[in-house]
Amino acid sequence: MMTKEEILQSLAIQTDSKLILVVIDGIGGLPVRGKTELEAAKTPNLDRLAPQSICGLIDPISYGITPGSGPSHLALFGYDPFRYEIGRGVMEALGIGLKLTEEDLTARGNFATVDENGIIVDRRAGRIPTERNREICRFLQKEVREVNGVEVSVHPGKEHRVVLLFRGKGLRDDLTDADPQKDGQKAKGTEGLHPEAQRTADVVNEYLRRATETLKSFHPANTILLRGFSKIPDIPSMSERFKLKPAAIATYPMYRGLARLVGMDILETGETLREEVETLKNHFDQYDFFYIHFKKTDSSGEDGDFKKKVKAIEEIDRVLPSILRLKPDVLVVTGDHSTPAVLKSHSWHPNPILLHSRYLRPDRIRRFTERQCQKGQLGRFPAVDIVALMLANGLKLKKFGA
């Protein structure tokens, strides 16, 4: 029996048609005074496009599941998010723009405070300022660069947070957390979950020993706790899976990193929506699949700022005509997950989706909103199926069976 993934791969063909996937981060919302952010926004361009498109609601993962950016993007890129897992360490590394290879073992970490007996007294080292974090990392990096032939680098995040990168042949990520997750316990090292991981555990523990030695005089940041050991998943590229030549346009490192994981070329771009669309325009001849990511809707949702999210939506609506002028064969507008201002966080609510191409029976819905899209013919479906629909509408799939 073939899986749907295998069948798609066997049907995909390369053609000249151009597909654009517009991801409005955290687009879905919840009503405030009766209207969701999308319903409250003035979106004349999306509203003009919706009745010429087919619409629906996507579940990023499955009913009730609130996804992080990793699984939700994997699904949007056509990868089963239950099958391909992206570890915490990898996500953090991507988030600060590290380019990972198959030899890299990542971990997210905290600077922490231990007493003279090695008991953790503050897991967050008093939330040292980010600037101080950077200084300490610079110093530590100079002192410990390598352990047992494995390259090590420490990268500052915000406040007490760091990302560790171990680079060497044969490193494994089946390791326990080197972090008891609460104060009052002894900082212990990591352990391999299988005998084959022991060598990697030894490297990590030796690093932690030397780092703690080095950090003696940096109280309260006098040790490091590590968790979420992970390597990039063994994931086939979009070109392998779908015969696409894909490119990504995103202002935040994490999304560029996720796109790189599935083999997209990452296009240099600016900080604004206009610059992102300009980048799309400048490279439109060179690729046949574009992922373009708009972030502000999510961050204003996370801030709980309903009005700011409405404004972010309206800003995106204004750049839509420049995208349409490129005349893509298939355009999809959707989100990776909902981020309702009411919840100040990602949520499990489905997202509206609109697909525009020349081969469809338009839905004649009135607006691009959660409740209007729900009336569309795409129905409610999992995000992982979007790419198959895009390929079909771009005439990039052969017939299945005779």
Residues that bind a copy of itself (CB under 8 A): 1-4, 7-8, 11, 30-31, 36, 57, 61-72, 81-83, 85-86, 88, 91-92, 340, 342-343, 345-350, 359-364, 370-371, 374-375, 377-381, 385, 387-393, 397-402
Which CB, 123 or 227, lies closer to a copy of itself? Answer: 227
Cα 142 to the center of its chain, rounded Å:
31
Which CB, 157 or 340, lies closer to a copy of itself? Answer: 340
As given in the structure block, the two tokens for residue 351 are 């997202």
Cα 88 to the center of its chain, rounded Å:
11
Omega into 350 within 30° of 0, i.e. cis? no
Q: In the beta sheet, which residues pair with residue 109?
A: 162, 226
CB of 360 to a copy of itself, least distance (A): 7
Which CB, 119 or 400, lies closer to a copy of itself? Answer: 400
Interior angle at CA 303, CA 300 and CA 305, nearest 5: 65
| Among the listed residues 22, 38, 91, the one whose alpha carbon sits nearest the alpha carbon of residue 300 | 38
Which CB, 120 or 163, lies closer to a copy of itself? Answer: 163
CB of 54 to a copy of itself, least distance (A): 9
Q: How far is it, in rounded angstroms, from Cα 62 to Cα 81?
A: 10
Q: Are 88 and 181 in contact (CB under 8 A)?
A: no
Phi, psi (rounded to 5 degrees) for 229: -55, 130
Which CB, 5 or 202, lies closer to a copy of itself? Answer: 5
CB of 143 to a copy of itself, least distance (A): 30
CB of 348 to a copy of itself, least distance (A): 4
Q: How far is it, in rounded angstroms, from Cα 121 to Cα 143?
A: 25
Which CB, 139 or 381, lies closer to a copy of itself? Answer: 381
Residues with Cβ within 8 Å of 46's Cβ and at least 6 positions away in sequence, in order, are 317, 320, 333, 354, 367, 368
Phi, psi (rounded to 5 degrees) for 62: -170, 160
Q: How far is it, in rounded angstroms, from Cα 279 to Cα 168?
A: 36
Which CB, 6 or 213, lies closer to a copy of itself? Answer: 6
Q: Is 155 exposed, middle or buried (0-12, 13-18, 19+ CB in 10 A)?
A: buried
CB of 184 to a copy of itself, least distance (A): 23
Which CB, 83 or 186, lies closer to a copy of itself? Answer: 83
CB of 374 to a copy of itself, least distance (A): 5
| Among the listed residues 18, 22, 12, the one whose alpha carbon sits nearest the alpha carbon of residue 354 | 22
Which CB, 7 or 121, lies closer to a copy of itself? Answer: 7
CB of 149 to a copy of itself, least distance (A): 30
Q: How far is CA 94 from CA 26, 87, 333, in A?
A: 19, 11, 24
Which CB, 29 or 220, lies closer to a copy of itself? Answer: 29
CB of 367 to a copy of itself, least distance (A): 14
- Pairing label, strands 379-382, 54-59: parallel
Q: Are 107 and 164 in contact (CB under 8 A)?
A: yes
CB of 242 to a copy of itself, least distance (A): 11
CB of 250 to a copy of itself, least distance (A): 17
Crossing angle of the two packed helices 198-214 and 130-143, in degrees rounded to 10: 110
